[in-house]
Amino acid sequence: MKNMGDGGMSVVAFLKGAGVKHIFSVSGGPLNPIYRACSVLDLPLVHTRHEAAACFMAEAAARVTGAPGVAAVTLGPGVTNTVTPALVSTMAGTPLLILGAQAPTHTFERGAGMSWDPLPILGSVTKWSARVLDVQRIPEYLEIAWRKMWAGRPGPVFLELPADVLSASVEADPSARPTAPQRPIGPHISPEAATSLTAAFASAERPILILGDELFWDRSDRLVAAIEKNRMPFTTLRLARGLVDETHELWAGPGYVPCNAALRCALAEADCVILLGHHFEFDLGFGAGVNSAARIVQVASDPDLLGRNRRATLAIQASPASAVPAIEAAPEMPVDADWVTQVVAGWRAERDAQLPTAAGDSLHPVAAVDAVCEVAPENAIFVSSHGNVDFWADARLRLRRPGRYLRAGQSGALGAEIPYGLGARFADPSAPVIVFVGDGGVGYHVTEIDTAARYERPFIIVVLDDEMWGAIALPQERVYQETFEMELPRRDWGRVAEGLGGVTTYARTAAELSAAISDAIASGRPHLVQVPVASVLSPYMDYISK
């Protein structure tokens, strides 16, 4: 019995061979062959409290390690609970495999309990969704899943495994570990494209470099050298945050125009914009604010991103990492050093001006975020949300390394924060993980503190408590001079955390908060720190809600 080869063994053998480190799940009877195989083949299984949380954790692991994350969920409602994380993963461009159970094939169309056809639902929020009907073909379907996740811009895929397929015996040796396909590299920039690229910015006096998502998957170790050789200001956004140390003197702040007025100004004045591994998306103002006379050089391997929202003067379909040596090797540009100084100093001054002058009864969000960052070590992983207080965090954080900053991405999904924190901790057990979340967002998946306690994966949740759904309330106030059901009475999140196996601190001042974070890092237990903060509209919310 113990060494029985079945569909579950095929699944887990493949995942082991692919380098998967955990399967995140909420149990379901039809998944039992996978669970048994995890035990036999020694692939750690993490039993969470909600399927959405399981998927968010898997996706977080991908954002930290650079390898696809995997979640396994039961049929029907188990699968439909994964729709939001699948959407987040699609919009963020992160590789996530969701394995969904299904009733046995002989019950199809008979109204089996819990059973529903999820393919039309998951098909609309993933890159690919499919059903496996033959146990012998499980490795083949998983191989397709891997290819699809990595094809072009990465994204999620869904694979349905009916109960009889998963429990059927396999002929193949289950201990054999097929290897999964790697992310395809390329295409490498051609010599002609490299020449056009250097020609496009040969006369640039005011160049700016934007580092985006694809560079996270397709790293270049020449980025710093290329930036320094040309002395050009650079900005980082989304998955590219921390790819170059953001304390670098040429960093022009986070690549979110809503919270970076200096960047808006720089883009309006630049005569050359080099956009690597990204497109002119929402947070880059769809490219509308870029100087109309600027030459725009865009490099991405997915042709669908080239020219999106703003046409590039030179659009190169190539690995962005392969373009970096060409930028480094280009003849010196006549860069206007005063302009560069003005751009980076502009961002620093803007950031400094955010520092609160007078302390009210509650902490200013900036003081709270800074108090946390002050004591966080260089390898700390930060998670931020999509509430008003978190948008302050975006502007305060300076990431020193890649894979240290998790934010749901363009979907803006509230609720990912706590599972992201825990998933990150599973992915890198050596790094302290700090989650910034509002008193609204905390309610979605706070129960995962129990999962952290059960698996002894400590992480820190900082609840920035302004007693309201601030990001919605503050703009309502501005437009209507009143708010509608926006108040959230102060709740004792600490007692919730304690009840779930965590520990807690209530911090009223910056000094108390810094001390609480230091203690939490040292404690080795899941820790929730509740911090009353003032409701102050963040520059980001101010900009997008005008």
Ligand X SMILES: Cc1ncc(C[n+]2csc(CCOP(=O)(O)OP(=O)(O)O)c2C)c(N)n1
Least CB distance to Mg ion at residue 241 (A): 24
454 Cβ neighbours under 8 A, 6+ residues apart = 47, 501
Whose CA is closest to 417, among 384, 393, 390? 384
- The answer to whether 309 touches 283, Cβ cutoff 8 Å, is no
Tokens 């306690």 belong to 453
| Site size toward ligand X, by CB under 6 A | 18
Least CB distance to ligand X at residue 448 (A): 16
Among 167, 301, 388, 514, binds ligand X (CB under 6 A): 388
Q: For residues 197 and 497, what is the distance between their CA atoms, to the nearest angstrom? A: 54
| Bridge partner list, 159 | 99, 130
- Name the one range near ligand X by CB under 6 A: 96-104, 341-349, 380-388, 522-530: 380-388
User: What secondary structure letter does DSSP report for 182?
Assistant: P
Give the contact letters, 44-63, x = binds to Mg ion (CB under 5 A), - = no: --------------------
The footprint of Mg ion on residues 352-411 (CB under 5 A) is: none
- The answer to whether 406 touches 430, Cβ cutoff 8 Å, is no
Assigned token pair, 260: 């970076």
The footprint of ligand X on residues 469-508 (CB under 6 A) is: 469-472
Does residue 466 touch ligand X according to CB under 6 A? yes
Residue placing its CB nearer to Mg ion in the complex, 419 or 438: 438
Q: Which does 386 bind (CB under 5 to 8 A by kind): ligand X, Mg ion, none?
A: ligand X
Residue placing its CB nearer to ligand X in the complex, 35 or 444: 444
The footprint of ligand X on residues 173-192 (CB under 6 A) is: none
Among 414, 435, 517, 536, binds ligand X (CB under 6 A): 414
Does residue 441 touch ligand X according to CB under 6 A? yes
Q: Which does 315 bind (CB under 5 to 8 A by kind): ligand X, Mg ion, none?
A: none
Whose CA is closest to 226, among 246, 205, 250, 242? 250
Does a cis peptide bond (omega within 30 degrees of 0) precede residue 187? yes
- Name the one range near ligand X by CB under 6 A: 95-103, 225-233, 381-389, 512-520: 381-389
Whose CA is closest to 167, among 109, 102, 107? 102
Does a cis peptide bond (omega within 30 degrees of 0) precede residue 178? no
Give whole-number Cα distances, 380 to 147, 422, 451, 459, in Å: 32, 13, 21, 10
Least CB distance to ligand X at residue 258 (A): 14
Q: Which does 415 bind (CB under 5 to 8 A by kind): ligand X, Mg ion, none?
A: ligand X
- Name the one range near ligand X by CB under 6 A: 55-63, 108-116, 371-379, 382-390: 382-390
Give the contact letters, 419-438, x = binds to Mg ion (CB under 5 A), - = no: -------------------x
Residue placing its CB nearer to ligand X in the complex, 438 or 532: 438
Least CB distance to Mg ion at residue 11 (A): 41
Residue placing its CB nearer to Mg ion in the complex, 258 or 441: 441
Q: For residues 320 and 292, what is the distance between their CA atoms, to the nearest angstrom? A: 24
Does residue 440 touch ligand X according to CB under 6 A? yes
Among 412, 453, 506, 542, binds ligand X (CB under 6 A): 412
Instruction: Please give the distance of CA 251 from its chain centroid, rounded to a whole number.
Output: 21
The footprint of Mg ion on residues 437-496 (CB under 5 A) is: 438-440, 466, 470
What's the N-to-C CA distance of the chain in angstroms? 65
Amino acid at 532: P
> 183: phi > 0 → left, psi -120 to 50 → alpha, else beta; which?
beta
Residue placing its CB nearer to ligand X in the complex, 54 or 414: 414
Q: Which does 471 bind (CB under 5 to 8 A by kind): Mg ion, ligand X, none?
A: ligand X
Backbone angles phi, psi at 529, to 5 degrees: -115, 120
Q: For residues 252 and 234, what is the distance between their CA atoms, to the nearest angstrom? A: 6
User: What secondary structure letter does DSSP report for 468?
Assistant: B
Residue placing its CB nearer to Mg ion in the complex, 440 or 475: 440
| Bridge partner list, 405 | 382
Q: For residues 56 and 89, what is the distance between their CA atoms, to the nearest angstrom? A: 9
Q: Which spans of this chain sit near ligand X (rule: CB under 6 A)?
A: 386-389, 412-415, 438-441, 466, 468-472
Q: Which residues bind Mg ion (CB under 5 A)?
A: 438-440, 466, 470
